[in-house]
Amino acid sequence: MKRKRTSRIPVGAPTLTKNDFKSDQDVRWCPSCGDYSILAQTQRILPELGIPKENVVFISGIGCSSRFPYYMNTYGFHTIHGRAPTIASGVKMANPDLSVWVITGDGDALSIGGNHFIHLMRRNFDINVLLFNNRIYGLTKGQYSPTSERGTKSSSTPLGSLSLDTPFNPISLALASGATFVARSVDIHLDHLRPMLKAAFEHKGTSFIEIYQNCHIFNDDTFILQREKEHKTDHTVLLEHGEPLVFGTERDKGIRLNGFQPEVVDTTNGEYTTEDLIVHDQYAEDTTLANFLAGMSDTPDMPHPMGIFRSVRHPCYEDLMTNQIRTAKERTGDGDLEALLNDGETWTVS
Amino acid sequence: MKRKRTSRIPVGAPTLTKNDFKSDQDVRWCPSCGDYSILAQTQRILPELGIPKENVVFISGIGCSSRFPYYMNTYGFHTIHGRAPTIASGVKMANPDLSVWVITGDGDALSIGGNHFIHLMRRNFDINVLLFNNRIYGLTKGQYSPTSERGTKSSSTPLGSLSLDTPFNPISLALASGATFVARSVDIHLDHLRPMLKAAFEHKGTSFIEIYQNCHIFNDDTFILQREKEHKTDHTVLLEHGEPLVFGTERDKGIRLNGFQPEVVDTTNGEYTTEDLIVHDQYAEDTTLANFLAGMSDTPDMPHPMGIFRSVRHPCYEDLMTNQIRTAKERTGDGDLEALLNDGETWTVS
Amino acid sequence: MRKPVEQIEAATILFAGDSGDGSQSIGTQMTETTALIGNDVATLPDYPAEIRAPAGSLAGVSGFQLHFSSEQIHTPGDLCDVLVVMNPAALKMHLHKLKPNGILIANTDNFARRNLRLAGYEKDPLESDALTKYQVFRVELTRLTRKALETTQLSMGEIDRCKNFFALGMILWLYNRPMEYTMKWIKAKFAQKPQYIEPNILALRAGNTYCDMTEQFAVSYDVKPAPFEPGTYRNIEGNMATVLGLVAASHRSELPLVYGSYPITPASDILHGLAKYRNFGVVTMQMEDEIAAVGVAIGAAFSGALGVTGSSGPGLALKSEAMNLAMIAELPLVVCNIQRAGPSTGMPTKTEQSDLLQMFYGRNGESPIPIVASSRPFDCFESVYEACRIAVKYRTPVIFLSDLYIGMGAEPWRIPKISELPEIKPSFAVSADTTNGFEPYLRDPETLARPWAKPGTAGLEHRIGGLEKSDVTGHVSYDSENHEKMVEIRAEKVARIANDIPPTEIFGAQEGEILLLGWGGTFGALRTTAENYVAEGLPIGHVHLRHLNPFPNDLGDILHRFKKILIPELNSGQLLQLIRATYLIDAIGLNKVQGQPFHVFELHAKIDEILKEMEHF
Amino acid sequence: MRKPVEQIEAATILFAGDSGDGSQSIGTQMTETTALIGNDVATLPDYPAEIRAPAGSLAGVSGFQLHFSSEQIHTPGDLCDVLVVMNPAALKMHLHKLKPNGILIANTDNFARRNLRLAGYEKDPLESDALTKYQVFRVELTRLTRKALETTQLSMGEIDRCKNFFALGMILWLYNRPMEYTMKWIKAKFAQKPQYIEPNILALRAGNTYCDMTEQFAVSYDVKPAPFEPGTYRNIEGNMATVLGLVAASHRSELPLVYGSYPITPASDILHGLAKYRNFGVVTMQMEDEIAAVGVAIGAAFSGALGVTGSSGPGLALKSEAMNLAMIAELPLVVCNIQRAGPSTGMPTKTEQSDLLQMFYGRNGESPIPIVASSRPFDCFESVYEACRIAVKYRTPVIFLSDLYIGMGAEPWRIPKISELPEIKPSFAVSADTTNGFEPYLRDPETLARPWAKPGTAGLEHRIGGLEKSDVTGHVSYDSENHEKMVEIRAEKVARIANDIPPTEIFGAQEGEILLLGWGGTFGALRTTAENYVAEGLPIGHVHLRHLNPFPNDLGDILHRFKKILIPELNSGQLLQLIRATYLIDAIGLNKVQGQPFHVFELHAKIDEILKEMEHF
Ligand SMILES: Cc1ncc(C[n+]2csc(CCOP(=O)(O)OP(=O)(O)O)c2C)c(N)n1
Ligand SMILES: Cc1ncc(C[n+]2csc(CCOP(=O)(O)OP(=O)(O)O)c2C)c(N)n1
Ligand code: SF4
Ligand code: SF4
Ligand SMILES: [Mg+2]
Ligand SMILES: [Mg+2]
């Protein structure tokens, strides 16, 4: 486990529970919205992190997902559309001791907020970003989003005017922006989501999790193949460090490299064995493998990788800045205001 | 050569020359600025494209580089900081017949304009984007930019406060955004730059060229290894479709895949031959190879690839939109305003 | 035996229930039917916050009010004659809007303990004395609907979703309205899901019959058609009228329409609406943000199209830098602002008029932009068309102001003839007229508009941009005097638009005691108020401004003809501030910042107060 | 024999040449020396467009004007006593600023054909009659410098770059100033490149000696020290004073300073300056754009730091949405706007005051934000400090307005004692005082400020945001009356800041004919003008506002004590508009929108005209 700056609850203090993290506000999402599950898992893992509740801050933009902070009995700021990464950076910079979480949607993070998103990744503040990807604008009633597939029918692309834009792959974008921790999970895969949330917390640096989330009202079942029990074993592949990429209900299929392209092979018919499969390396500094895995979800008929694509340790912005300050103070002493004001050539009139 | 929509000069019409593309404005860059060379090469290739001058539009943001349109005797719009891609998209959408060029800098495109940049790439308008990367903000007098290396000393990071952000790799970012044509060249490598500019024009879809450009005043020689004759053969590798990645003054070195990482090998000492080297495939749909090549310039001691990383044909936004309009007109006939206003339930009072 | 029918002049009905109860759709149906049989009608949908609140909660109540009359009306009514509530929360939220002795229809099936608690009632209000001053009709709406639909194949959940049509059936009976229009609509609406057609019609019929049969309802009402100017009419919402106005301007000017937008309540409907008209060559581009949205519109304008963008509240703040570029580049551009309650994210589903000063001044430097405001739902058509006309004629961005109240409200609209629409002539430059070659800032001496030269036109190659430009040549210029001149020309160009504005109409007294001066969506309340006073013979006038920048040339004169100027606004006094500064008149504001439109009685109260004071002194 | 020395009261010198000629650095040196020997001094650098223009062109001319005196002065002077031109373009651009009979020193070596043509001269003006009304000194500056440096190891190009110090040497002689300060500066400046120390000093000396030797210069001048209040002084530029004011506020409040910014002329220097003070715990973050820059400042404020952001023109437009968030979230935040000439990109290296109304109104909804404006270079220190004080005390964003003219201008500053600085007390909430737990919108009854509870404080966990908030609890609220109440409270909170404003000082007449009312960087010109009239015994007063929102409580009274209110502004009349609307006074504007500050004579002309009219009627 990496050293985190966030303070820990003192030994012996009463332990927190899930309920300590529930605020007094009624949770307001549509029935069956995937957001409920993500909220519940977050409230479940937080007491297990060993940090005091008052050190936790949730920052969000605007969207259905961005109402999240209101339901957390922690510090929270429901800011403006797309700008949560900037505000979160300020919160963290001013107090590196806080555990800062950004809650965002596919529109919030990748449409209006795309620039802050990529810049947050490259600065590597120790912030955790949870992107609730439902491939739609929920709050504004169902327009297509930057992750909607080309040809989506939506309120802004009604009959005769399907969407024309090629979607972003959030994982690829995060990797290209220099993200040091990149993972993917699913709203209702509780036993997968929780460890991912914890791993994001434990990672020192910006952690990004794309969470496939169902919008029951405006984009129901867009992730049916990756979400539902009966499909998911054939349409997702779990990434585990050091393990070959095996999947399928019978764990009989694997991913092999064919040139530079992924290929699904049957590991039971004798042609290939697990030896031929790609072995996952989440700690690789080079992003070629992670990029390759990211591309799979854009490739027809490929299972979508779930888990940690990349996890590497790079210096965090706030630490580098704190160091600069410390070094400067060591070099020239704590700032002396009197001396500063009187700096340079002065003269005295009496 | 792919079919471009842009109209061609009729056969027999007088041919244009470089001078036809020079405006009457004095060119105002510092002496020795790399921008001069890019301007000259652009003015040289334009007459060779076979399109009428009046169909050419240069759109820029703000920065030294963004003054470019003033010097071109074509249509031009020097817009606002970072927004050129949006305005160019509107120009192209309203008249797909135009040849639209975006001129931008590393700050303009990747700092304030980062979001428009990535969205332009994914929409794939048939627009050519030339990014003059000098790793600095020239116009505002030398602050570090999103492509400046970490630890840069600049006017905004003076003594004791070196820059802390990890730079973007523009090529990686373009690829992750779905760019269909991605290339790199150097301001003063005239014989390389010109064919790149032409290829960008010929490509149907958004073409992106990162041009290493020297800012003589605020960031002199940041690309010395890739720009100067005495270094460049060892520090750049030319990408040529179907060819192995060979470089070096004696063309004695090559790039081999070691696991998922690039490795420089000597092809003369018998251990490896050109057979072992990576062969470039610019037309690959899958971006793994292109991503891998992009990553090389972030890897210490690797030569920087020059040339076309990727060139694939995807539908263009403006064509898809034009099709929607055509289809709608075919289906329901040209819009009849009278009928539209009287649509739905009406009643008459007399 | 037919129950007696009473003739009345007007009625106001408010449907209210949980967001899922379908109040909006039966409200719309009642509006359609009422309009089609010739009443004048005005509506006010009242949405809860954008996100679904828990079923049965106060925050989840959705309402739809409509007012119809045998006379011309202008507002959805202050208080209601009939209130239909689907649950206790709806009752709690809206009871205060019911007139004394008004009709309350409540779905008793939803008044169980849980719902009462969610609405904050200790005990069932229907059983208490609190309602004695109303005519209360307790109807087991859910049970009756289930009964009526028991033979259908639908699940219980699906059946319950039909109960709003039961309620509509009742109201249609109560006001003697035919069911046929609604049936037709149900058929069209469920064309793809035919299993729902029959059940909804059954529910509608059942509600209707129920009233006929039960003794509860003794009398029904009739409202005769209103006198309308001859013409063909349809019912229209403000945002839809904006959509049509834009399509019409594009058609009439023969400029292709490029609408760049980013979704935001309550402007999104314009994007949704326009996206349907590809057959008119309409291009809609949902962009990554509001900046990109105005960017494509500016680019399209530069290319020679009709570039339009639309947004609300925070979106306008984001567009301001680019609007300023369009201003200095002197390109035609229309920016639609469908105002909602601010500041910041504010209350996105509530109405307000508080962006006026932002539209005037929200840009760095001296940046005059004309502003045209729509006053009522159907007026959005003409006003946005006028915005396009000005933009094209004067080569300038123009702001079109609407708001949530009129954008979502509906009323009958006399459909104009195409030939009645004013001309919009782009008059593109086709050749360089001067010996110096093409001069992109050589102006039309009358309008001061600069030439619009489309890329693709040989010989007119030129460069524009956001740096100050030299007069005539358009070259970049840092010259002091040129800058001052350009600042003045840009201001003068906007000022000259006043020459296009027809003489201001004063309703009521042409001079006298009080002038009600308004703009935007308050028209209905102000005009109704003025009518009332005029009917009493009091010297009160009403002027409603469509053009806010520039003001009409005759406005100063008019203001001086009245002793007091009262400026009611749904903000803290923004037009007030402009009028005071411009005309140095001690105008008075009546300001309401509640996310809700004015009630006529609020205006009456203020005017009476002023009149009293005036007598006093 | 020493040449005669003439005592004079004041002098104005303008150095002008190509951007590469070093006018700025010798101007700054002359300023330093002059300040150090005790004159009052004011400067005006005049930069060309941001991008280098071709050498010798008109667009490439860079100028530096300084005015020094044995009396208190407030402006860099209207017309010059001495004009030093390094090339014909500089002459062309600036000759009109030279007083009749003024001294013109020209580097004749640069008046060759090519340069003349670039400046648009047909023939050499130095040879023509055009200059007869001036004292012209033709100096072969380049040749003389080369000669003086011929023994050094420098290349010809390097030698030529020393010629500005030759010119400075001449001016130091002309005004009897010591060379030592400059020599010290040269040594420090080239500490890393010592090969340049000696040559530059040689050039300086050579220029000085040249004047002593040549017969051209017969007389030199002396300006005695000015009377200053006792204290320790330094020379300071406005932007540097802003930097120090921010560091001081951070230090005094014990709040760490987090400055988020994106480079833009002329605000970048604040970023550059603050970045040097890591030892004060100052965090500077160069962000991806202006939105991110204000975003980090807001985040830092939420975290309990002093969040500050700074920009100019278009950058402010971009920040407006987030400023609105800070307003409704009621967080302390300081937004610095170093104004430049707009609209749009405008003229980035020229000055203007045209963002005032944008700062007031450039946000959607009712969004009151206090505004504090600095009036002169050294006043930036106190004004920005005051902005921080208000932000922290009232928990509100505050706008600090400065401009390019004062930001880049310099003057002597009496360095304050730390103990003189007003107190800034963050008073963080530490516990929930009520039985309901922590209530983030429970206000201080006097200031209406809400509590500032830092994350990390146990028991005060709470959520805020951009949706309308319920009074006291801070929960999201769509309630109509709550909204109106909150809009009123936010306005009232800003209004109460007026209680902190000391009584307004009126310079000159306390009542009478004309009041000059100004704000911001026009202070110098207005005060000088007022002094002149007061010296003549005319009943003219001058009030210069630091607080623009709210206005001081006594302003209305003061305005009514004068017959005419004249509001000179470097815009088209923005304060004018506010004053007219607020006080219904027929104030008159004097407006200059040329990217240049006022000249005192322009103010005189206007006042004389008004006085004449007043006599008339
Ligand atoms: C500046 C601005 N523009 C637009 C909006 C309207 N808006 C609110 S949320 C949203 C998109 C929400 O989509 P997403 O981020 O995917 O979140 P979801 O609702 O799907 O969880 C939009 C367009 C806004 N609030 N502010
Ligand atoms: C909204 C806005 N913010 C900031 C600026 C100031 N500005 C102009 S150009 C520029 C950066 C230029 O850097 P780059 O894009 O790399 O271009 P270069 O000058 O290096 O060619 C900045 C910050 C501006 N003009 N507008
Ligand atoms: S609209 Fe979709 S995303 Fe939003 S709350 Fe409802 S189901 Fe969830
Ligand atoms: S500052 Fe740099 S980029 Fe700009 S013109 Fe000069 S050399 Fe070129
Ligand atoms: Mg979404
Ligand atoms: Mg650059």
Within-domain flag for C483:
no
Please give the structure tokens belonging to residue A107.
């529109």
In angstroms, the CA C2 to CA B345 distance is 30
> Which range is least confidently modeled, B104-113, B197-206, C144-153, D491-500?
C144-153
For the packed helices C141-148 and C197-213, what is the interaxial angle rounded to 10 degrees? 120
Same domain, C399 and C522: no
Which pLDDT tens digit goes with each residue over C162-217?
999 999 999 999 999 999 999 999 999 999 999 999 999 999 999 999 998 888 88
In one-letter notation, the amino acid at residue A110 is L
Which of these, D352, D466, A218, lies nearest to C313 by C-alpha position?
Answer: D466
In angstroms, the CA C226 to CA C38 distance is 6
CA triplet C524, C530, C531: central angle to 5 degrees?
A: 90
* Inter-residue long-range contacts of A263-270, CB under 8 Å, 24+ positions, other chains counted: A264/A301, A264/A302, A264/A303
Which of these, B134, B228, B111, B130, lies nearest to B183 by C-alpha position?
Answer: B130
pLDDT for D436: 84
Which of these, B137, B142, B89, B147, lies nearest to B117 by C-alpha position?
Answer: B89
pLDDT for D1: 56
Same domain, C249 and C158: no
DSSP state of A116: H
C-alpha separations of A85 from A60, A92, A262, B107 in Å: 8, 10, 33, 19
Longest Cα–Cα distance of chain C, Å, equals 89
In angstroms, the CA D179 to CA D163 distance is 16
In angstroms, the CA D608 to CA B145 distance is 53
Please give the structure tokens belonging to residue A118.
């990529």
What residues of C are in contact with residue A139 (Cβ under 8 Å)?
50-51
Which of these, D261, A87, D288, lies nearest to B146 by C-alpha position?
Answer: D288
Tell whether the torsion through CA atoms of A23, A28, A30 and A31 is positive or negative.
positive
pLDDT for B2: 46
Q: How many CB pairs under 8 A join C and D?
A: 226
Mutation choice for D interface testing from B156, B165, B173 by most D CBs within 10 A: B156
In angstroms, the CA B33 to CA C480 distance is 29
Same domain, D241 and D371: yes
Same domain, C263 and C394: yes
Asked if residue A38 has its Cβ within 6 Å of ligand 3, the reply is: no
Using the beta-carbon criterion (under 8 Å), do D263 and B158 form an inter-chain contact? no
In angstroms, the CA A84 to CA A101 distance is 10
Please give the structure tokens belonging to residue D594.
């040329």
Within-domain flag for D437:
no
Report the gap between the CA of C594 and the closest CA in chain A (Å): 22
Q: Which chain D residue has its CA at the smallest distance from C326's CA?
A: D344
* A109 CA closest ligand 1 atom index: 15
Same domain, C276 and C133: no
Using the beta-carbon criterion (under 8 Å), do A161 and B287 form an inter-chain contact? no
Using the beta-carbon criterion (under 8 Å), do C364 and D354 form an inter-chain contact? yes
Q: Do A199 and A180 form a contact (C-beta atoms < 8 A)?
A: no
Domain boundary among D405, D420, D435: D420
Which value, to the nearest 10 degrees, does the dihedral of the CA atoms of residues D193, D199, D203, D204 take?
Answer: 50
Domain boundary among C223, C249, C273: C223
Give one DSSP letter per residue of C556-615, joined into a string.
Answer: HHHHHTEEEEEEEESSSSHHHHHHHHHH----EEEE--SSSPPPHHHHHHHHHHHHHHHH
What residues of A are in contact with residue C59 (Cβ under 8 Å)?
26, 28
Within-domain flag for C433:
no
In angstroms, the CA C48 to CA C77 distance is 20
Q: How far apart are the first and last CA of chain C?
A: 62
C-alpha separations of D165 from D26, D111, D171, D210, D520 in Å: 7, 19, 10, 12, 34
Within-domain flag for C396:
yes
Asked if residue B34 has its Cβ within 6 Å of ligand 2, the reply is: no
C-alpha separations of D326 from B31, C228, C597, D334, D448 in Å: 45, 50, 27, 10, 16
Query: What CATH number has the domain bearing residue C568?
Result: 3.40.50.920
Q: Per the structure, how many domains does chain C have?
A: 3
What does the H/E/C string look like for D375-427? CCCCHHHHHHHHHHHHHHHHCCEEEEEEEHHHHHCEEEEECCCHHHCCCCCCC
Given CB atoms, is D314 within the 8 Å cutoff of chain B? yes
CA triplet D263, D267, D269: central angle to 5 degrees?
A: 85
Q: What is the mean pLDDT of chain D?
A: 95
Question: Pick from C350, C572, C581: which is nearest to D478 by CB?
Answer: C350
Q: Do D354 and C373 form a contact (C-beta atoms < 8 A)?
A: no
Q: Please name the residue that has the structure tokens 């979502």.
A: C408
Given CB atoms, is C18 within the 8 Å cutoff of chain A? no
In angstroms, the CA D25 to CA A332 distance is 28
In one-letter notation, the amino acid at residue D52 is R
In angstroms, the CA D146 to CA D362 distance is 56
Within-domain flag for C326:
yes
What does the H/E/C string look like for C503-555? CCCCEECCCEEEEEEEEHHHHHHHHHHHHHHHHCCCCEEEEEECEEECCCCCH
Q: How far apart are the first and last CA of chain B?
A: 64
Which pLDDT tens digit goes with each residue over D11-51?
999 999 998 899 999 999 999 999 999 999 999 998 877 77
Using the beta-carbon criterion (under 8 Å), do C265 and A144 form an inter-chain contact? no
pLDDT for A232: 96
φ and ψ at residue D23, rounded to 5 degrees: -60, -40
Same domain, C252 and C178: no
Which value, to the nearest 10 degrees, does the dihedral of the CA atoms of residues C297, C298, C304, C306 take?
Answer: 40
Which pLDDT tens digit goes with each residue over C301-338?
999 999 999 999 999 999 999 999 999 999 999 999 99
b/e for C119-157, b at 16 or more Cβ within 10 A? bebeeebbeeeebeebeebbbebbebbbebbeebebeee
Please give the model's pTM, rounded to 2 decimal places.
0.96
Same domain, D218 and D194: yes
pLDDT for C1: 56
DSSP state of B137: B
φ and ψ at residue C479, rounded to 5 degrees: -70, 130
The yes-or-no verdict on residue A2 having pLDDT over 60 is: no
Which pLDDT tens digit goes with each residue over C60-106?
899 999 999 999 999 999 999 999 999 999 999 999 999 999 999 99
What residues of A are in contact with residue B112 (Cβ under 8 Å)?
115
Q: Do C84 and C110 form a contact (C-beta atoms < 8 A)?
A: no
Same domain, C547 and C587: yes
Banded model confidence at residue A1, pLDDT cuts 50, 70, 90: very low
Highest-scoring range by mean pLDDT, B3-17, C362-376, D421-435: C362-376
The yes-or-no verdict on residue D406 having pLDDT over 90 is: yes
Given CB atoms, is A258 within the 8 Å cutoff of chain B? no
pLDDT for D59: 87
The yes-or-no verdict on residue D53 having pLDDT over 80 is: no
Q: Is D59 left (phi over 0), alpha (psi -120 to 50) or beta?
A: alpha
Please give the CATH topology (third level) of the domain spanning B18-231: Rossmann fold (3.40.50)
Q: How many CB pairs under 8 A join B and C?
A: 214
Question: Which runs of consecutive H residues, i.e. helices, occur in A124-242?
Answer: 170-176, 190-202, 224-227, 229-235
Within-domain flag for C436:
no
In angstroms, the CA D272 to CA A254 distance is 55
pLDDT for D616: 65
Report the gap between the CA of B278 and the closest CA in chain A (Å): 10
List the chains bordering chain A where 3 or more Cβ pairs fall under 8 Å: B, C, D
Given CB atoms, is D592 within the 8 Å cutoff of chain C? yes
**D343 prior amide bond cis, ω within 30:** yes
Same domain, D264 and D346: yes
Q: Please name the residue that has the structure tokens 């749009």.
A: D344
Task: For ligand 2, atom 7, name the residue with the nearest CA.
Answer: D264
Report the gap between the CA of C355 and the closest CA in chain D (Å): 5
Same domain, D28 and D89: yes
Task: For ligand 4, atom 2, name the residue with the nearest CA.
Answer: B215
Using the beta-carbon criterion (under 8 Å), do B345 and C234 form an inter-chain contact? yes
Task: For ligand 4, atom 5, name the residue with the nearest CA.
Answer: B29
Report the gap between the CA of B295 and the closest CA in chain D (Å): 23
Q: Do A328 and D278 form a contact (C-beta atoms < 8 A)?
A: yes
Ligand 4 pocket, residues with Cβ under 6 angstroms: B 29-30, 33, 35, 64, 134, 138, 215-218
φ and ψ at residue D122, rounded to 5 degrees: -75, -50
* A111 CA closest ligand 1 atom index: 15
Same domain, D60 and D170: yes
What residues of A are in contact with residue C276 (Cβ under 8 Å)?
158-161
**D54 prior amide bond cis, ω within 30:** no
Q: What is the mean pLDDT of chain C?
A: 95
* A104 CA closest ligand 1 atom index: 15
- The β-bridge partners of C336 are C310, C400
Asked if residue B217 has its Cβ within 6 Å of ligand 2, the reply is: no
Identify the domain containing residue C523 by its residue range.
Answer: 507-616
List the chains bordering chain C where 3 or more Cβ pairs fall under 8 Å: A, B, D
Given CB atoms, is C274 within the 8 Å cutoff of chain B? no
Mutation choice for A interface testing from D296, D323, D417 by most A CBs within 10 A: D296
Within-domain flag for D491:
no
Question: Which runs of consecutive H residues, i.e. helices, occur in C447-500?
Answer: 480-496
Over residues B262-284, the mean pLDDT reads 94
The yes-or-no verdict on residue B1 having pLDDT over 50 is: no
What residues of A are in contact with residue C264 (Cβ under 8 Å)?
140
The yes-or-no verdict on residue D231 having pLDDT over 90 is: yes
Given CB atoms, is B193 within the 8 Å cutoff of chain A? no
Within-domain flag for C464:
no
In angstroms, the CA B125 to CA D380 distance is 48
What residues of A are in contact with residue C286 (Cβ under 8 Å)?
143-144, 156-157, 163
Domain boundary among C171, C199, C223: C223
Over residues D433-460, the mean pLDDT reads 94
Tell whether the torsion through CA atoms of D607, D608, D609 and D615 is positive or negative.
positive
Q: What ipTM does the predicted assembly reach? A: 0.96
- The β-bridge partners of D7 are D222
C-alpha separations of D349 from C183, C449, C464, D51, D595 in Å: 68, 28, 19, 10, 8
Which pLDDT tens digit goes with each residue over D115-169?
999 999 999 999 888 899 999 999 999 999 999 999 998 999 999 999 999 999 9
DSSP state of C223: E
* C263 CA closest ligand 1 atom index: 23
Same domain, D516 and D584: yes
